[in-house]
Homo-oligomer: A and B are copies of this chain.
Amino acid sequence: MFSVPTRTQYGIRALVHLARAGEAADPAIADLATSAAIAKAESISPKYLEGIMTQLKSKGIVIAERGKGGGYRLARDASAIRMIDIVEALEGEVRPVDCVENSDCCVQGNACMPRKFWIGLKGAIDDYLASKTLKDVIEA
């Protein structure tokens, strides 16, 4: 139950890899890593990770440098990247049931009691994800 797709798991492991690379003293040197290098280090399918990194780039989590000598780096400091930003970038908003927004998924409509329960669950998940940053994770 509530299993997280490999897409998200891989994305987070890749970002952890980048964040640890950026921990070094001189931030201008070691914080650039190619998708292929991360894939090898983390034993992830290279082509699959490529697509994940592109998506993280399009959402502003990482910055890509193309061409020879290129690679990826974090778009901002690890302490400024919340885990919920990553999860939403890769899988969209947390939504246990469709009726989080529109209350027409069952006959009860707006008075539906299960709906309030699910919205509460979304709140609990969101709170946890928003309370942790990438930096918290690499320092755990």
Contacts and interface: CB of A to CB of B under 8 A. Distances in A.
Interface stretch (A51-59, A64-72, A113-121): A113-121
A contacts with B: majority SS: helix
A129 B1 CA distance: 13
How many copies the complex holds: the figure is 2
7 contacts: A2-B2, A3-B95, A4-B118, A9-B114, A13-B114, A43-B107, A121-B129
Contacts of A120: 128, 132
Interface string A1-34: 1111000110011001000000000000000000
Interface string A122-140: 1011011100100001101
Contacts of A128: 120-121, 124
A62 interface: no
B1 A87 contact: yes
Contact of A92 (B1, B41, B116, B122): B1
Contacts of A1: 8, 87-88, 91-95
A77 interface: no
Nearest to A5: B1
A53 to B, nearest CB: 16
A125 B114 contact: no
A3 B55 CA distance: 21
